Structure 1
Amino acid sequence: MARLNWGMIGGGEGSQIGPAHRLGAGLDGAFSFVAGALDHRPEAGREYGQRLGLAANRAYGDWREMLDGEKGREDRVDLVTVATPNATHFEITKAFLENGFHVLCEKPMTMTVEEGEEIVRISRETGNICAVNYGYTGYSLVRHMKAMVARGDLGKIRLVKAEFAHGHHADAADADNPRVRWRYDPAQAGVSAQFADCGIHALHMASFVTGQEVKRLSADTVSCISSRELEDDAMVNFRMDGGAVGRLWTSSVAIGRQHGLTLQIFGEKGGLRWSQEQPNQLYWMPLNGRLEIIERGEGGLSPEADRTSRVTIGHAEGMPLAFANIYTDLAEAIQARKSGRTMDPAADLYPRAEDGLRSMAAVFAVADSGKREGVWVDARPPMFR
């Protein structure tokens, strides 16, 4: 099967997320990296793009130049990844969708619920894919959790407990560090800091695995470092549309925690526990049974897990490979559209614009509830109520 053409906006030299996307997109040979506008400084972006192997005429100075350059080409990019600062996601994603491109946007997809609803409408009206990079859902055993829930291994889901807590912003002396400061500045980050940055990953994963969406929530938010305007810790209780109860803790001041993304699912017939820092093991406790450790790569797993596991059992698969699974999902979706066939259902798991919209609605709901001392609020975007 011929490779698809891929381009990237943002993710330039020194970027935290750019290398993970380039590794993920190229890992399985589904995409060729052919175009990019990689830096807010045009010449730096052009120079870095050429060092990465882009042709001089496709190493663009900015995203508008890239849009103009690509939309008229017969070999134009099939997928554009948007990995720019948060406030620019909406404008860039909207422009490329409206010009016939498929888009993978970093989270948060937009800065407001209204922008999110517009992206959903554009994606639906044009038929162009808008995916959102909730990349941790690409882990093989997270997909196996989803499959176990879907086939009824746990019975009716009663309770979900999600965490994304780290301690890397716990030093009050970092108040003037520009890499930290912007995250807690409403002018740059919006209405939420820690929940919008990390909490929505945990919340999306809870929905992804259970197949249920969040309806209502109550939030306790706090700035443990008093100089911060936005929260650095939040505890969120939520109710899901399939009846599950949810608890979510997210923090950036939990000293001793590193990454801290964990998910536990408890049903009538058993419970599951997974941690991103030990992604090769899934703990399964059947009701009245004995604790089992499911290993990534072992025999007898679900098609969703098998499809997303590359190396033999006992060898770690990390975050770039989880990102790669999002890219292989998208490659399968795009190739299926090109050939007019139905895509592999085991690959039909990439996060959609609808997921990005729900996350943004949850961000505003958490901010609202937190300001009103935990009052329960509707967490759904208006178009889904």
Structure 2
Amino acid sequence: MTKLSWGLVGGGAGSQIGPAHRLGAAVDGEFAFVAGALDHRAEEGRFYGRSLGLAPDRAYGDWREMLAGETGRADRVDLVTVATPNATHFEITKAFLEAGFHVLCEKPMTMTVEEGEEIVRIARATGKLCAVNYGYTGYALVRHMRAMVARGDLGRIRLVVAEFAHGHHADAADADNPRVRWRYDPAQAGVSAQFADCGIHAMHMASFVTGQEVETLSADTVSCIESRVLEDDAMVNFRMSGGAVGRLWTSSVAIGRQHGLSLQVFGEKGGLRWAQEQPNQLYWMPLGGRLEVIERGAGGLSPEADRASRVTVGHAEGMPLAFANIYRDMAEAIRAEKDGRAMDPAADLYPRAEDGLRSMAAVFAVAASGKAAGQWTDARPPMFRD
């Protein structure tokens, strides 16, 4: 099987997210890393690209140079990943989509709802894949939760409880730390800090697992460290399109919490509980039954979970492999397009531009509701309200 060609924008030396993308793209042998514009400093980016094995003519100085260089090649990249600072996502994603490239964009996809709607329209008009890296949906047991809900194991879903809380920004003495400060600065982060950074992962996962979209929400947002302009803690109540009620807590000042992403789903016939820090176990309680622990990699799971597992039961499987499942999904989608066939339904799970747009609309709704003392607010993008 010939590998697909992959290019990366951002994710240079010292990047937190770059190695996870390179590992994720490489795990299954679906993609060859052939092009990159890895740093906003041109020479550092070229040097780092060459150190990773890129040919000198495909280790670019910036994304515009990469766009021009790849557009003119017969062997141009099949997929471009955008892993740059948040405020640049829209411009870069838009340019590569319009040039006919498939794109995987880090979250948030855009900084405004209007930009998000434009990306959705461009992706639909060009017919190109535009995915957003809500990478935690790549975990095998998250996908098994989705399959259990879809096949009716839980009955009608009543309640969803999502959390993404950590304590890594709890020290007020870090107020001038540049790695922390920008997250709470509206000029750099936009209208929201903690919810936009972490809360939207939890909210997207709630929609991914239940198959329902968030329609309205009420938010209580607070800056526990008073010098911060944007929130470091939020509690969000929401209502979903299929009738489910949602509760979401996200925080960056919860001392003692590390990563803190978890999801609980409660239906008429049972409940599920999963935590990202213990990703190999899914807790299932059928109504009137006994608590069961479902192990990742065990026999008898859903096709979606089986396809997303790579190591045998009992062994750790973590975030880079969750990212790898997003890349594997996209490889299947690209190959299906090339071959003129339908893609494997168990792979048709990667988050779309529409998901990125819904998340941005939720960010603005949370910010507005928080300022209005929790007033219930429409969380849908305008283009999805009809």
Whether TM-score is above 0.5 comes out as: yes
Deviations 1:149-189 (A, max 9, x none): 00000000000000000000000000000000000000000
Q: Which residue of 1 aligns with 2:336?
A: 336
SS of residue matched to 2:279: coil
The CA distance in 1 between the partners of 2:221 and 2:63, in whole Å, is 36
Q: Which residue of 1 aligns with 2:251?
A: 251
The CA distance in 2 between the partners of 1:362 and 1:110, in whole Å, is 12
Aligned 1:207-226 pairs, distance under 5 A? 207-226=207-226
Aligned 1:104-183 pairs, distance under 5 A? 104-183=104-183
The CA distance in 2 between the partners of 1:130 and 1:311, in whole Å, is 29
Aligned 1:80-91 pairs, distance under 5 A? 80-91=80-91
Q: CA deviation at 1:195?
A: 0.1
SS of residue matched to 2:323: helix
Q: CA deviation at 1:2?
A: 1.0
TM-score of the aligned structures, taking structure 2 as reference length: 1.00
Segments of 4+ in structure 1 off by > 3 A? none
The CA distance in 2 between the partners of 1:74 and 1:32, in whole Å, is 16
Identity %: 86
SS of residue matched to 2:368: helix
SS of residue matched to 1:92: helix
Deviations 1:324-377 (A, max 9, x none): 000000000000000101100000000000000000000000000000000000
SS of residue matched to 2:310: coil
The CA distance in 2 between the partners of 1:266 and 1:74, in whole Å, is 51
**Letter paired with 2:267:** G
Q: Which residue of 2 aligns with 1:26?
A: 26
Aligned 1:94-109 pairs, distance under 5 A? 94-109=94-109
**Letter paired with 1:176:** D
The question of 1:202 aligning with 2:199 is answered: no
The CA distance in 1 between the partners of 2:219 and 2:208, in whole Å, is 21
**Letter paired with 1:382:** P
The CA distance in 1 between the partners of 2:221 and 2:312, in whole Å, is 43
Q: Which residue of 2 aligns with 1:305?
A: 305
Q: Which residue of 2 aligns with 1:193?
A: 193
Q: CA deviation at 1:33?
A: 0.0
**Letter paired with 1:215:** E
The CA distance in 2 between the partners of 1:201 and 1:361, in whole Å, is 14
**Letter paired with 1:45:** G
Aligned 1:51-66 pairs, distance under 5 A? 51-66=51-66
SS of residue matched to 1:272: strand
TM-score of the aligned structures, taking structure 1 as reference length: 1.00
The CA distance in 2 between the partners of 1:378 and 1:324, in whole Å, is 34
The CA distance in 2 between the partners of 1:177 and 1:61, in whole Å, is 29
Deviations 1:186-245 (A, max 9, x none): 000000000000000000000000000000000000000000000000000000000000
SS of residue matched to 2:82: strand
The CA distance in 1 between the partners of 2:71 and 2:149, in whole Å, is 42
The question of 1:72 aligning with 2:97 is answered: no
The CA distance in 1 between the partners of 2:186 and 2:153, in whole Å, is 44
The question of 1:38 aligning with 2:38 is answered: yes
**Structure 1: tracts of 5 or more residues without a match:** none
Q: Which residue of 1 aligns with 2:292?
A: 292
Q: CA deviation at 1:271?
A: 0.1
SS of residue matched to 2:43: helix
Q: CA deviation at 1:11?
A: 0.3
The CA distance in 2 between the partners of 1:193 and 1:54, in whole Å, is 35
Q: Which residue of 2 aligns with 1:7?
A: 7
The CA distance in 1 between the partners of 2:139 and 2:2, in whole Å, is 26
SS of residue matched to 1:279: coil
**Structure 2: tracts of 5 or more residues without a match:** none
Aligned-pair Cα RMSD in Å: 0.2
**Letter paired with 1:206:** A
